[in-house]
Amino acid sequence: MPGFSADDQAILAALVRGQRRKLSRTLFGALASDIAEPVTRLCVVLRLAILLNRSRVSGALPQVSADRAWSTLTLRLPEGWLRTHPLTEADLRQEAEYLATIGVKLRLRRSKDQVLGPIVPSPKT
């Protein structure tokens, strides 16, 4: 990747490798210690953006917010949004499992006051 510094190349590589499938903290281990956490956060946001922005989803996308400690990521969803997007709901459940491996809890909110609760990973069969 000519034109990018070695650090930039490492960041891009981590983001590309981390955008799909399983996640691991070791994925970000090759990064400098001062940028590993921000790149991990960026990767999580990228993963959710990819998951939510697909051709089968029409209309407005849900808003995303995170707590200050970053241990919990909250998706704010309109009333009934998951019922009308069952494939995305299934993908969010799988993503909750992946994010849990790096210490991030995925939560859903229907409104500011009503918490739907954490997405419970599906049982292993």
Strand partners, 73: 66, 106
| Within a domain: 92 | yes
What confidence tens digit (pLDDT) does each residue in 54-102 have?
A: 755 566 676 666 666 778 888 877 777 788 888 888 999 899 999 999 9
Tokens of 13: 């590589």
* Sequential DSSP letters for 32-64: -HHHHHHHHHHHHHHHHHHHHS-TT--SPPPEE
Tell me the CATH number at 99.
1.10.3210.10
Mean model confidence pLDDT for the chain: 80
- Per DSSP, which regions of the chain are E strands? 63-66, 72-76, 105-109, 115-118
Range of the domain at 31: 6-118
State yes or no: pLDDT of 125 exceeds 50.
Answer: no
pLDDT of residue 54: 72
What confidence tens digit (pLDDT) does each residue in 32-49 have?
A: 889 998 999 899 989 988
